[in-house]
Amino acid sequence: MRDDPKPPFREQQQPMPGSTAAMQPRPDHGEESYRGSGRLAGKAAVITGGDSGIGRAVAIAFAREGADVLISYLDEHGDAQDTADWVEKAGRKAVLAPGDLKDPKHCRAVVTQAVEAFGRLDILVNNAAHQATFAGPEEISDEEWEVTFATNIHAMFYLTKAALLHLRAGSAIINTTSINADQPSPQLLAYATTKGAIHTYTAGLAQILADKGIRVNAVAPGPIWTPLIPATMPPEKVKSFGGNTPMGRPGQPRELAPVYVMLASDEASYVTGATVPVTGGRPFL
């Protein structure tokens, strides 16, 4: 059994969107532990928010399973290059695609860039997200509300729409929702609302695409130790982060990656419309 870090953590805060290098302890993305077995051999994937956190762990796992990976990210160039280096160390192609997914044109460009680089597209992982904490609705500006929806749910639609021009039978779309879709944190009202929308979007889209042989599923993480935490939560919340789970700690990004691999692989050929909770024991209904 691994001795993963438990709270209390050092109180820490970063400017948004956060940096992996500045976190204490450093998150574990499976850099030294993930072992692939060819489950995604010959496939090509787009991973949004692929520079750090869950996205980095998924990129590393996908590459070690045999997939080429496009890493979509906003402007965290150092983190993104680190992720690309791990993909290339696994012997796979890595493509970096910086830019703002709130722009529908950029979403379409990301998909086009992947197809041009890899000659195909088999997997779309909609993982990029924006969150911020507020005491109440009166503190949430109109712009903040719109940015959260544009990043978390609108971009997912634009990316999916563009990807469907290239996805074939056997392809997979995987969306990152959250335990907040079922147990919304009052301080994360905008974020939690979008995560509920993603849960519903996944279930509806899966039914639409089933006859095309394209599977659509979601992963619902609980508290996961990523740069988003010190970048969007007050230091006292960071200190106790993850302590509210039965396991008494936050999850590490590497603990999410095998679920994404399974959902992307042909082994999940009869799994669509599902949301898989990875919550450290917190219930998700």
- Taking each helix axis from N to C end, the angle separating 257-264 and 53-64, rounded to the nearest 10 degrees, works out to 50
Half-sphere exposure (Cβ direction) of 118: Cα atoms closer than 13 Å? 28
Say which of 34, 191, 201, 260 is annotated catalytic.
191
User: CA 176, CA 127: separation in Å to the nearest integer?
Assistant: 5
- Describe the strand order of the beta sheet including 123-126 as a list of residue ranges: 94-98, 68-73, 44-48, 123-126, 172-176, 215-221, 275-278
Q: Judge contact between 245 and 280, C-beta under 8 A.
A: yes
**34 flagged as catalytic:** no
Nearest to 9 by CA among 185, 236, 244: 236
Nearest to 258 by CA among 156, 177, 200, 174: 174
Strand (E) positions, 87-132?
94-98, 123-126
Cα angle value 99/101/107 (rounded, 5°) = 95
Residue 163 neighbours by CB under 8 Å, 6+ apart:
46, 111, 121, 124, 173
Bridge partners of 44, per DSSP, are: 68
Nearest to 179 by CA among 58, 279, 275: 279
Q: How many CB atoms lie within 10 A of CB 226?
A: 27
Residue 184 neighbours by CB under 8 Å, 6+ apart:
192, 193, 195, 196
Active site residues: 191
